[in-house]
Structure 1
Amino acid sequence: MSVTFQGSLFDSSDEPALGPLAGHVVRHELSAGAWIDVRPRWIDGADDLFAHLHDTVAWRADEREMYERVVAVPRLLAWFGERAAWPHAVLDEARERLGDHYEPELGERFVTAGLCLYRDGRDSVAWHGDRIGRGRSENTMVAIVSLGSPRRLALRPRGGGASLSFTLGSGDLLVMGGTCQRTWEHAIPKTAKPVGPRISVQLRPRGVL
């Protein structure tokens, strides 16, 4: 069941604008050198950004092989590389702001953006780490900007252990860092609750997918 996205009561601006990071990001230490940073409502006017991306991005439906058959990926996708024109100026600004804030710790800047459109509660992403490329063997960071309806991002240690979750609302920022992609897994679970569409923007350094 799908429902129309309802805008956030916290949005005070129709034009998207970024808030500060320093002094507003809360770090959650996990285990084995992994950590999560959370900055609620980083983007003011996030509903306008959601609507723009929803209506203008060239979303694609992908398929993948699973258990000897081809199945549809349960979300729509888009990707913007280093030389691509990103779909909104505030995402370019977000890339630069995140680079300024995290480069001293990361040692490099964010250069690509992967977008996922979760159309309703049936769309999801299974447990995984971003381990294609350098994320398999090196510490890295993945920054997630959430837009649209709130969804739960769940995390668990690889190999078993207690899980935790964060409900990400429109305009929220979550950054996974340290060993997180190698020692933890994350997922957006399906839900039977009537939820509206959500867009996830994942910013990554070069060579991390």
Structure 2
Amino acid sequence: MSTTLQSSLLDLVEEPELAALGRAERIPLSRGAWVDLLPGWLTGADAVFAELLDTVPWYAERRQMYDRVVDVPRMLCFYDEQRPLPNPTLRQARERLTAHYAGELGEPFRTAGMCLYRDGRDSVAWHGDTIGRGRNEDTMVAILSLGSARQLALRPRGGGPAVHRFPLGHGDLIVMGGSCQRTWEHAIAKTAKPVGPRISVQFRPRGVR
């Protein structure tokens, strides 16, 4: 797949390495929601990005939008529990997240959804991950960002302007926990600014999409 990534000078290491999750900063939101933020969780992220870009079987989707069918503005791939992850660093990341959040989550992270934002025209609208148990239960979604930074915006469910904006890329981690998927929404907006490609890897427990 032909895309151009401007590499980070801080990412030039021989082997990918994950930092300690205890360094994450917890940001309380409202109504029992919170996010943990850890910039640069994965060093060597650009090499992982390049491998995923070339080896993941990316596909496009079309979805019903009111009275017409439209293209989903990003490429996708989903790894369920039975499907091996395509990179050993991602397997290690999922294991580290499971171990660190065991006390709060009470179950493993099991699946990995992936989105490829090819440029500033790709985006995801305001939403919460409420397909399945996330509609009624507190849960967690951990997002590892690879490639160029894009702003992930957060706002309380019900509309209004973004309350938080986090520029995520080059190995940054954000974990959305508590009631976040039910009571808050997140989005990646389109931008006219020149931006390179980004891959978002979303680790989730069973029954959450």
> Do they superpose with TM above 0.5?
yes
- Counterpart in the other structure of 1:64: 63
- 8 Å CA contact 1:14–1:48 kept in 2: the answer is no
Residue 184 of structure 2 aligns with which residue? 184
Question: Contact (CA 8 Å) 2:169, 2:198: kept in 1 or not?
Answer: no
Identify the residue that residue 97 of structure 1 maps to in structure 2.
96
Could you say which residue in structure 2 is the equivalent of 1:8?
8
Q: Kindly provide the amino acid, as one letter, of the partner of residue 173 in structure 1.
A: L
Matched positions, count: 207
Residue 16 of structure 1: how far off its partner (Å): 1.5
Deviations, residues 51-82 of structure 1 (Å, cap 9, x unaligned): 00001100000000112111000000001111
Superposed counterparts of 1:73-112, under 5 Å: 73-112=72-111
Shift of residue 3 of structure 1? Answer: 7.0
Matches within 5 A, 1:114-133: 114-133=113-132
Q: Is 1:202 equivalent to 2:195 in the alignment?
A: no
Shift of 1:169: 2.2
- The one-letter code of the counterpart of 2:11 is D
TM-score (norm 2): 0.96
- Please show how residues 154-193 of structure 1 align to structure 2 within 5 Å: 154-160=153-159, 163-193=163-193
Question: 1:150 aligned to 2:154?
Answer: no
Identity %: 65
Separation in 2, partners of 1:11, 1:68: 45
Partner of 1:47, secondary structure, is: helix
Deviation at 1:9, TM superposition (A): 1.4
Runs of 4 or more above 6 Å deviation: none
User: Contact 2:62 / 2:70 at 8 angstroms: preserved in 1?
Assistant: yes
> Does the CA contact (< 8 Å) of 1:3 and 1:195 recur in 2?
no
Q: What is the alpha-carbon root mean square deviation over aligned residues?
A: 1.2
Deviation for aligned residue 1:160: 3.8
SS of the residue corresponding to residue 201 of structure 2 reads: strand
CA distance in 2, matches of 1:177, 1:196: 28
Shift of 1:161: 5.1
Q: Does the residue aligned with 2:53 lie in a helix, a strand or coil? A: helix
The residue matched to 1:54 in structure 2 has which SS?
helix
> Does the CA-based 8 Å contact 2:150-2:168 persist in structure 1?
yes
Any gaps of 5 or more consecutive residues in structure 1?
Answer: none
* Contact 2:49–2:147 under 8 Å retained in 1: yes
Distance 2:158 2:201 in 1: 27
Q: Name the amino acid aligned to 2:53.
A: H
Partner of 2:21: 21
Is 1:113–1:202's contact at 8 Å kept on the other side of the alignment? yes
Query: Aligned equivalents of 2:61 and 2:116: distance in 1?
Result: 12
